[in-house]
Amino acid sequence: MKIIIGNWKMNGTPEMVDMFTKGLNQVETSNKIVLCPPMELLGYFRNFKHALGAQNCSYSTEGAFTGETSAASLRRIGCEYVMLGHSERRKLFAETSDVILHKWKAALKEKLTPIVCVGESDKQDWINELGRQLCIFLEKDLSSTIMAYEPVWCIGTGEAPSSEQMIKSIEFIKKVVKPAGVVYGGSVNVGNYKSILTTPRLDGVLVGGASLRLEDFSEIARYA
């Protein structure tokens, strides 16, 4: 059983939700499929047979936080998962490790499964950068948290780390913070998902661009 996560980022329409609901509901697989559309589309998913996740949540439960969405609201609308600390949020919205830790706590409180994204931006210094991002989770119970290893230089670029680097990173993450699972993200597509998913100890993939194409995402979801 692999975990196959689709991250639509800020893309999609209600029509796409209908199309994906019909299409993905027909996918027979023992894999766990988690689709993370943008916030405003979550409510359009009705009778969706797979799991839904959000791409972010607030660290606070309620109050004067204009533009934010609480973990409790995500639960109410049907989410079981929430992505946290995606590199786009770290870079474009200045999310720090401290903020990510608070969001992680808020998500767990509402029994959402956090998908925490980590990954180096600097190819040379990768293990140190990864270590710094994992630091906040030392001594924390990650038994219901999924870590997504997403090297920033692989996101949307068509590049991928060597299998040696991938194996080392997965081992490193598992050893340091002992999460429930580690998935890989960064330019996963129909051409490379099979070889990526055979990486030892890898529990799944996080798919960005290719998750916007129903045929491609369905094929990856059917991986056996």
The one catalytic residue among 50, 80, 86, 215: 86
Q: Which of 128, 156, 198, 215 binds ligand PGA (CB under 6 A)?
A: 156
- The residue nearest ligand PGA at its CB is 208
Residue 158 and residue 160: Cα distance in Å, rounded? Answer: 7
Residue 166 and residue 125: Cα distance in Å, rounded? Answer: 14
Residue 95 Cα distances to 84, 98, 99, 165, 176, angstroms: 10, 8, 6, 26, 22
Complex with ligand PGA: residue 51 or 72, whichever CB lies closer: 51
Residue 111 and residue 106: Cα distance in Å, rounded? Answer: 9
How many chain residues are in contact with ligand PGA, going by CB under 6 A? Answer: 12
Q: How many helices (H) and strands (E) does the chain have?
A: 8, 8
Would you count residue 161 as binding ligand PGA (CB under 6 A)? no
50 given a catalytic annotation: no
Backbone φ, ψ for residue 172 (5° rounding): -60, -50
Tokens of 81: 């998962």
Would you count residue 185 as binding ligand PGA (CB under 6 A)? yes
Residues 78-137 that bind ligand PGA (CB under 6 A): none
Q: Is 3 helix (H, G, I), strand (E, B) or coil?
A: strand
Q: Which of 27, 187, 204, 221 binds ligand PGA (CB under 6 A)?
A: 187
150 given a catalytic annotation: yes
Would you count residue 208 as binding ligand PGA (CB under 6 A)? yes
Please, what is the minimum distance in Å from the beta carbon of residue 115 to ligand PGA?
A: 10
Q: Which residues bind ligand PGA (CB under 6 A)?
A: 7, 150, 155-156, 185-188, 206-209
Catalytic residues: 86, 150
